[in-house]
Amino acid sequence: MRRVQTRPPSFPEVDRDALLSIEPGKRWQVLCGDFGHWRLGVYSPPESSAEQCEELEKHDCPELFLLLSGKVSLVLAEKAGTRVLALEPNKPVLVTSPHSGFCPEGAHTGAALVIERDSFDTEYRAAKEW
């Protein structure tokens, strides 16, 4: 198990009222935020199956996922074990469980918008430890 603290400023400075760039092929890219409140990023995992999600993360606050393109599925740890939740267009999900994700059609073939706090703690453990 490992723990990571994220503290402000936890997002890059950007030009306001301008288009932001998303770099393809990155697992996690923080795009922007509001100091002391929230940050926004794009999640596009390289894993292509739930079995490849060997480590899950749990924040001390919820985070919102919204499918942007392709296919992205989340692996969620629950009392009964893990389950897979396929994200759907225009159906956001508020995640509080330990989680990870994968793109079932291949590495980085899907992307999800993620909104989370600007300051939080994260615990990482092997999927089987949750």
Model confidence pLDDT, tens digit, residues 26-78: 999 999 999 999 999 999 999 999 999 999 999 999 999 999 999 999 999 99
* Distance separating alpha carbons of residues 37 and 1, to the nearest angstrom: 27
Band (pLDDT 50/70/90 cuts) for residue 24 is very high
Domain ranges of the chain: 2-129
Q: In the numeric block, which tokens belong to residue 60?
A: 């001390």
The reported pTM is: 0.95
* Distance separating alpha carbons of residues 74 and 117, to the nearest angstrom: 19
Answer yes or no: are the C-beta atoms of 5 and 124 closer than 8 Å. Answer: no
Q: Which residue has the tokens 């199956």?
A: 49
CATH number corresponding to 2-129: 2.60.120.10
